[in-house]
Amino acid sequence: MASSMRSLFSDHSRYVDCFRKFLDNSTEHQCMQEFMDKKLPGIIARIGDKKSEIKILSIGGGAGEIDLQILSKVQVQYPGVHINNEVVEPSAEQIAKYKELVAKTSNLENIKFAWHKETSSEYQNRMMEKKELQEWDFIHMIQMLYYVKDIPATLKFFHSLLATNAKILIIIVSGTSGWRKLWKKYGPRLPRDDLCLYVTSVDLTQMLDKLGIKYECYDLLSTMDISDCFIDGNENGDLLLDFLTETCNFNSTAPPDLKAEIMKDLQEPEFSIKKEGKVLFNNNLSFIVVEA
């Protein structure tokens, strides 16, 4: 590996730009929206039974777009019931955006928000030290388990916080996605960073099986338009390539042989489909629902 290659996570503002570009070019949020509309009402059907307050814990809530969708579904299911929504998010920038979104969103009167600027493991340690483990009716972890050091311990801890009829919703890239194949084939040749693990739904369901935790797994199709990656000097393409490889300025720092191999593979059927002149990377998502 060329020494000039460095992890995308070493440059926070570049990472944020790449992530935004990924959201612009993928059906990630539309895929999540489809799940929230079709599947979530059934999943949360009993979480608030006979309760005067519903307690929801968002782990890695980001800027809150998906969180507010979840909350709106809970409001429909339990009209007028008070909701206590606590958010664990390590990025001050994301928390600020979340608060802005809440400020300009109507119909949130019955929801109390609290934000904690910390990682899931920092939250876990704080709770263990206080020895006041609170029970939750719904916990969700959306696209965040890649950033957790000890995933089985994290799953076990949050599972222990579930109240009667409670659920945990985990969203993570599917084992059928192009991500899994990309990480498996090229992971050892790309700059690794302790901040991020190559983990998919396949790894996660194996961990849950080992822990003896009951769950259901749903896969939904999602794509990312990576056509710009094949246009020399295209800024959008460069950002998407950085996101795909988790490498800062991949285009200008990767060894030519590695770059050629990845660019060729990204157009192969196991990674992407070609449709109407576009190259669509397989960004399939898994939605894992864990039961109390």
CATH number at residue 166: 3.40.50.150
The domain total for the chain is 1
> Does the annotation flag 75 for ligand binding?
no
pTM: 0.92
Residue-level length of the chain:
292
Indicate whether 260 belongs to any domain. no
pLDDT digits (tens, 9 = 90+) for 80-92: 999 999 999 999 9
User: CB neighbours of 246 closer than 8 A, spacing ≥ 6?
Assistant: 7, 8, 9, 190, 191, 193, 196
pLDDT, residue 12, reads: 82
> Does the annotation flag 168 for ligand binding?
no
Q: Of 24, 17, 101, 110, whose CA–CA distance to 62 is shortest?
A: 101
Q: Is-contact 251 136, C-beta < 8 A?
A: no
pLDDT of 2 over the 60 cut: no
Indicate whether 83 belongs to any domain. yes
First to last CA, the chain: 45
pLDDT digits (tens, 9 = 90+) for 226-277: 999 999 999 999 999 999 999 999 999 999 999 999 999 999 999 999 999 9
Say which range, 5-14, 46-55, 98-107, has the weakest mean pLDDT.
Answer: 5-14
Indicate whether 204 belongs to any domain. no
> Does the annotation flag 60 for ligand binding?
yes
User: CB neighbours of 172 closer than 8 A, spacing ≥ 6?
Assistant: 143, 145, 146, 199, 200, 201, 204, 285, 286, 288
CA-to-CA dists, residue 240 to 171, 192, 249, angstroms: 21, 18, 10
128 lies in which domain range? 39-173
> Does the annotation flag 65 for ligand binding?
no
pLDDT digits (tens, 9 = 90+) for 194-230: 556 789 999 999 999 999 999 999 999 999 999 999 9
Indicate whether 146 belongs to any domain. yes
Indicate whether 200 belongs to any domain. no
> Does the annotation flag 139 for ligand binding?
no
> Does the annotation flag 94 for ligand binding?
yes
> Does the annotation flag 261 for ligand binding?
no
Indicate whether 192 belongs to any domain. no
